[in-house]
Amino acid sequence: MSGLLNTASVMMCPHGGTVQAVTSNTRTQVGGAYALRASDTFTIAGCPFAIGPTPHPCVQVQWVQPALRSTVAGDATLTLQSVGLCSAADQAVQGSVLITSTQAQVGGQ
């Protein structure tokens, strides 16, 4: 089992931008913060990526592989093993989200 992601988890785009999660889950906490789900909103701030002289920053995360067996409020949760793709405003995928820390008290599959 892998640690579930929560609103206190630290995530980044591959270029060092900060991922900010906004969840509508106000009922289930894990490790002292609200559990994150695949349907939540994940925005990215501060991505410095550019193609040549043109800025092309990561702006959002789309989760393509959430937890298979654990749910919160009927939606798949996210774990350290989940796969999220960072994309630019034009929907170009620019790499996978990096999960640098999360709580270890509660796990999911």
Domain that holds residue 13: 2-103
Instruction: Please count the other Cβ atoms lying within 10 Å of the Cβ belonging to residue 48.
Output: 11
State how many domains the chain has. Answer: 1
Instruction: Please count the other Cβ atoms lying within 10 Å of the Cβ belonging to residue 27.
Output: 9
Q: Nearest 5°: CA angle at 90, between 84 and 94?
A: 40
Band (pLDDT 50/70/90 cuts) for residue 106 is low
* Cα pseudo-dihedral 83, 108, 8, 93, rounded to 10: 10
Q: Is residue 108 a part of any domain in this protein?
A: no
Q: Which of 4, 71, 11 is nearest to 32 (CA)?
A: 4
Q: Nearest 5°: CA angle at 41, between 79 and 92?
A: 90
Given this model, what pLDDT does residue 31 score?
86
Q: What is the pLDDT of residues 37-89, one digit of tens each?
A: 999 999 999 999 999 999 999 999 999 999 988 899 889 999 999 999 999 99
Q: What is the reported pTM? A: 0.89
Q: Is residue 91 a part of any domain in this protein?
A: yes
The domain spanning residue 38 has which CATH number? 2.60.200
Please tell me which residue, 11 or 104, carries the higher pLDDT value: 11
Residue 77 tokens, joined: 């949760």
Q: Is residue 109 a part of any domain in this protein?
A: no
Residues constituting the chain: 109
